[in-house]
Amino acid sequence: MKRLLAAQDAPETVRKLTLRLVATPLMAGLVAILLLIAGAIFAYRIDQISHAEKLRQANVHAQILANGIAAPLASGDVRTLHEYLDALHADPQIMAVAAYDAAGRFIAGYAVPPVKLPPRGELARPLTSARDLISTAAIKQGGSRLGTIYLHTSLDSWPRRATRYLGLGIIVLMAALLIATLGASYASLHEAHSRLQTEIANREQAEEALRQSQKMEALGQLTGGVAHDFNNLLMIASGSLDLMDRTDDPDKLDKLRAGIRHAVERGARLTQQLLSFSRSSPLKTEVVDLAERIHGMEALLDRLTTSGIELDIDLAPDLWPVEVDPSELEVALLNIAINARDAMPDGGPVRIVARNLPGEADRVCIAITDAGEGISPEMLDRIFDPFFTTTAAAALDPDAGARAERDAGGGGDGPASHPACGG
């Protein structure tokens, strides 16, 4: 298994090593130098091929001349032979040309100084030098050899050949410079990319540390929130028990027992929510009758109001059912009502209003208003932050209001009251 993993990692290692080599300016410079060397070799090879082609053309030219002057030479027409050879003066590359008889004696021809004609005409292998090509051909007619033709042509000089290949050299040089520039640019880009990856990794580590810190802070707030909620439920149960000791009215006793039972059920739901929070399980939404659910909490809300607090519940008669987590909805209403009571130490009205909001996305608006001091403007943007509170102890889930609104198909812009809710 280890060998298989090593074999799989080998191509990746080679790829990374190749990228690292290519990403260095030294490698780019080396590629540019190799390109220049390849260009020089190519130019040299082209020159050799051109030289060989020139030699072949010279041999062919000499053979054509031999065939062209065979008839005048056979008939002894020296004048025509001179005219034929003198016409070659028009070709600047022909430095010397001459016709010799079968015994090797000179008959006709010319030479451009400083080139000199050989004293005797003999067949020989083609001779080449840096600037000259010398070729000979036999003059024949009817199978008999009449003489020899001598042809001396010049090749292009080195300056002319250098000029010829200057364009190629410039192109190769520009390509080499381009490769070197691209290599340096790629190296810089690769280095910047590496720095960016390092910064991203460092930022991810910092964000992870921040998340851990926020989790620890949330855990501390959660502990206080649990105590706060259970204290509210115990206060309801304790207050109801005290009232039961002071009355014998069966109806009142039944309402007080119902309130205690509701508080116990809320405690059970609170424990369930705490477990759900620890497991990060999703909310359990269901379609509920909002009016029935709020009226069912009326006895529980009455227990929370102290002297001087007036509770007013105003629900639209045709209130739509909503899809929401019932427990989260009750937690939100309960906590907001408690906060409203705490915001009015001298008493005042607490009004719960619910209205339908028709539109592209039908919603139901619930508004809870009081006459308290309110929240400072700089804190309004944070009221839906998880575990945020303006009091010493937070509820189990102060974010429940926003979550309940989202589950009910909401998505409001903030805490501002809506005219349709009576705000």
The alpha helices in 105-165, defined as continuous H runs, are 158-164
Give the C-alpha separation, 316 to 123, whole Å.
126
Instruction: Give me the half-sphere count of Cα atoms (radius 13 Å) on the Cβ side of residue 248.
Output: 0
What length does the chain have?
423
Residue 368 and residue 315 in contact, taking contact as beta carbons nearer than 8 Å: no
Listed by start position, the domains of the chain span: 25-164, 285-421
DSSP of 189-255, one letter per residue?
HHHHHHHHHHHHHHHHHHHHHHHHHHHHHHHHHHHHHHHHHHHHHHHHHHHHHHHHHT---HHHHHH
What's the pLDDT score for residue 189?
81
What contacts 33, CB < 8 A, 6 or more positions away?
176
Nearest to 152 by CA among 128, 139, 133: 133
What CATH class is the domain 285-421? alpha beta
Residue 364 and residue 357 in contact, taking contact as beta carbons nearer than 8 Å: yes
Task: Specify the fold of 25-164.
Answer: Beta-Lactamase (3.30.450)
pLDDT of the chain along its 423 residues, tens only?
Answer: 444 444 445 566 656 555 555 555 666 667 667 777 877 787 777 777 877 888 888 888 888 888 888 888 888 888 888 888 888 888 888 889 999 988 889 989 999 888 889 988 888 888 877 678 888 999 888 888 889 999 998 876 656 666 666 766 777 777 777 777 777 777 778 788 888 999 999 999 988 888 778 767 766 766 777 777 778 788 888 888 888 888 888 888 888 888 888 888 878 877 776 666 565 556 678 999 999 988 888 777 776 666 678 888 999 999 999 998 887 888 788 878 878 887 888 888 889 999 999 887 889 999 988 888 777 777 777 676 655 666 544 333 444 444 444 444 444 444 444 454 655
For tokens 């520039």, the residue is: 181
Tokens at residue 403, please? 């979550």
Task: List, in sequence order, every residue forming a beta bridge with 97; answer none if it has no partner.
Answer: 110, 151
What contacts 331, CB < 8 A, 6 or more positions away?
229, 270, 273, 395, 396, 397, 400
Give the C-alpha separation, 398 to 389, whole Å.
7
What's the pLDDT score for residue 14?
59
Give the C-alpha separation, 361 to 357, whole Å.
9
Fold equal for 25-164 and 285-421 = no
Cα–Cα separations (whole angstroms), residue 273 to 139, 223, 260, 383, 404: 118, 13, 20, 20, 14
Give the C-alpha separation, 366 to 362, whole Å.
13
What's the pLDDT score for residue 100?
92
Cα–Cα separations (whole angstroms), residue 221 to 159, 227, 271, 395, 402: 90, 10, 16, 8, 18
Tokens at residue 208, please? 């992870």
Give the C-alpha separation, 316 to 103, whole Å.
136
- Residue 135's φ and ψ, nearest 5 degrees, are -135, 150
